[in-house]
């Protein structure tokens, strides 16, 4: 089946795709599932695509779901990009991880601990920031150091 062909039955791997579309700590897997689900014009696949479009924490996944739904002829509006914390209490979590490390720790140590403690948060921001993620996270870490030292 080529990329433009749409099937009106459920894919054989529907359960697996549904699980992948909802995997919170892996935006790439969600994006891949959206791409695949967009080839199937069924109530179930459209429901999942709508859910990803409206609720995904990574805007790139929301956009992909929107484009797949439009291609299937569904009347939808692309939601605006979220501002502020992408996940509940993200700012507090960034600071909590910073405070859990010894004074004088490196950015690499911070990045590694954040990824271990909150892979969902790390993954969401990595997906949202794209190529600018590393620079953004280092800047966030540096600003947390200044905030922490004020107290």
Q: What is the mean pLDDT of residues 25-50?
A: 95
Provide the pLDDT confidence category of residue 55 given band limits of 50, 70 and 90: very high
The domain spans of the chain are 14-71, 90-150
pLDDT value at position 2? Answer: 42
> Which of residues 145 and 139 earns the better pLDDT score?
139
Judge contact between 103 and 110, C-beta under 8 A.
no
Chain centroid to CA 48: how far? 15
DSSP-assigned letter for residue 74: -
Q: Taking residues 72-77, report their average pLDDT.
A: 96
pLDDT higher than threshold 90 for residue 1: no
> What pLDDT does residue 9 have?
81
Write down the pTM of the prediction: 0.81
Tens-place pLDDT, residues 7-20: 778 888 989 999 99
The answer to whether 77 and 43 have CB atoms below 8 angstroms apart is no
* Mean pLDDT calculated for residue range 68-83: 94
Q: CA 46 from chain center: how many Å?
A: 19
Chain centroid to Cα 2, Å, comes to 27
């Amino acid at each position: 089946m080529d990329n433009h062909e749409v099937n009106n039955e459920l894919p054989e791997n529907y359960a697996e795709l549904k699980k992948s579309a909802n995997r919170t700590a892996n935006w790439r897997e969600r994006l891949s599932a959206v791409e695949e689900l967009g080839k199937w014009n069924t109530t179930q696949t459209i429901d999942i695509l709508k859910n990803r479009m409206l609720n995904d924490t990574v805007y790139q996944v929301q956009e992909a779901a929107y484009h797949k739904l439009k291609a299937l002829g569904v009347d939808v509006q692309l939601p605006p990009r979220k501002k502020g914390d992408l996940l509940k209490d993200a700012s507090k979590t960034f600071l909590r991880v910073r405070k859990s490390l010894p004074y004088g720790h490196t950015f690499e140590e911070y990045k590694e601990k954040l990824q271990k403690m909150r892979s969902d948060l790390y993954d969401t921001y990595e997906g949202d920031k794209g190529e600018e993620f590393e620079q953004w996270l280092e800047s966030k870490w540096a600003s947390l150091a200044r905030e922490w030292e004020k107290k």
